[in-house]
Amino acid sequence: MKRIVFLDYVRVFACFLVMLVHASENFYGAPGMTDMAGPQSFLNNETDRLWVSLYDGFSRMSVPLFMIVSAFLLAPVPETESMNVFYRRRFMRIIPPLAVFMVLYSTLPVLWGQLDTSMSLNDISRLLVNFPSLAGHFWFMYPLIGIYLFLPIISPWLRNATARQELFFILLFLLSTCMPFLRRWFGELWGECFWNEYHMLWYFSGYLGYVVLAHYIHKHLSWTRNERLLRGSALAVVGAALTIWSFYIQAEPGVLLETPEIEIGWAFCTINCVMLAAGTFIVFTAINWRESAIVTEMSKLSYGMYLMHIFWLGMWVDVFKNIYPLATPAAIPAIAICTFATCYLCTKAMSYLPYAKYIVGTASNVKKILPAAKNA
């Protein structure tokens, strides 16, 4: 299957944004907790408030972009591909590396004192039911696996649905993304109560909405290139402004804050995040990207980079917050850039290992290097 060039650029961009999000989180974690943001948050000053809002808020499109890319490539599953074949191909790509790194995050931190033995054993005992305590970023894999499980089931509808029918689904999905904000004014909505969480729009909510949205963009969006650039940019700018503003107005410096409350606009299935991610993706579709060997390679390595990046992030946080401290506007991107570069080099090196595709999700061809080395 021929590579779709712009998707490689989107994937690399989203991978970097994930690291920018986690770099930012080190500047509003509450004292006494982990460096990353936990259930409670604390901002030291107005400078941190501004730059965390800007960097982290803008980067909240990262997870939706990954979902959109996956759906753009995979939905609908071809009629000629059985459910068993689809599951085997997708899960053999993601499950073995995930399992390897879950074990690594449960054990390796014992060596440098980040985990004690009892915590390590507890993490290992829970590997079949949830991610390790130091691998919070693995939360994303569970919704992604759920989407993969559901894709063969929804594919017949996607193959036969008209643009109008898909748009109806998307409109209901968009309405569901307004619910976190509506709850602040009205409380429980549309059938919600303490004994029922499945509200009226439950089946149109969550990451499935991004699947239908990606398919609509792929198959039905009829905008010209200029319309995609202008309208996509407008969507992205408005979405970014709302996402940044939603955190900034609530993040009062010097006060212990509840993270879910100040991050209400940073949830990935909120209307502002949908606007930001969809608008950005549409802009990417309108740009004539040149195929780049380095971008293609980073795209192939992005899964392994994502899996390992928390291992390296802490080191760069220590460098730019403690050893050679930088001001927040410079420290956050420096941490993200250095983490990204380190993960790329490490994943690239590991891709030459035997059975690398089961460790970092892809394997480089050693045979291409050996003749070049002999000729040299």
pTM, to two decimals: 0.92
pLDDT value for 39: 80
pLDDT value for 239: 97
pLDDT value for 35: 56
Does residue 285 contact residue 300 with C-beta atoms inside 8 Å?
no
> What are the backbone dihedrals phi and psi of residue 372, each rounded to the nearest 5 degrees, phi first?
-65, -40
Q: For the chain, how many structural domains are there in total?
A: 1
Enter the DSSP assignment of 79: T
pLDDT value for 153: 95
- Give the N- to C-terminal CA distance of the chain in Å, as an integer: 33
What angle is formed at CA 259 by the lines to CA 257 and CA 264, rounded to 5 degrees?
Answer: 115
Alpha carbon distance 269, 279 (integer Å):
15
- Average pLDDT, consecutive stretches of 10 residues, N- to C-terminus, the chain (376 residues): 88 97 89 65 91 96 96 93 94 95 95 90 94 92 96 95 96 96 92 92 95 96 95 97 95 88 92 97 95 94 96 94 94 97 96 93 67 47
Three-state DSSP class for residue 327: coil
Residues, the chain: 376
Q: Which domain holds residue 261?
A: 5-375
Q: CB within 8 A of 249, min separation 6: which ones?
A: none
Alpha carbon distance 318, 237 (integer Å):
33
Write out the H or E segment, with its range, that includes residue 41.
strand 40-41
pLDDT value for 376: 45
Taken in order 137, 48, 182, 170, is the CA torsion positive or negative? negative
Q: Left, alpha or beta for 235 (phi > 0: left; psi -120 to 50: alpha)? A: alpha
Q: CB within 8 A of 239, min separation 6: which ones?
A: 61, 272, 273, 274, 275, 276, 277, 278, 279
pLDDT value for 372: 46
Do the bridges between strand 257-258 and strand 40-41 make them parallel or antiparallel, or are there none, so unpaired? antiparallel
pLDDT value for 31: 66
Does residue 206 contact residue 199 with C-beta atoms inside 8 Å?
no
How crowded is residue 298: how many other Cβ atoms within 10 Å of its Cβ? 23
Alpha carbon 14 to chain centroid, angstroms = 7
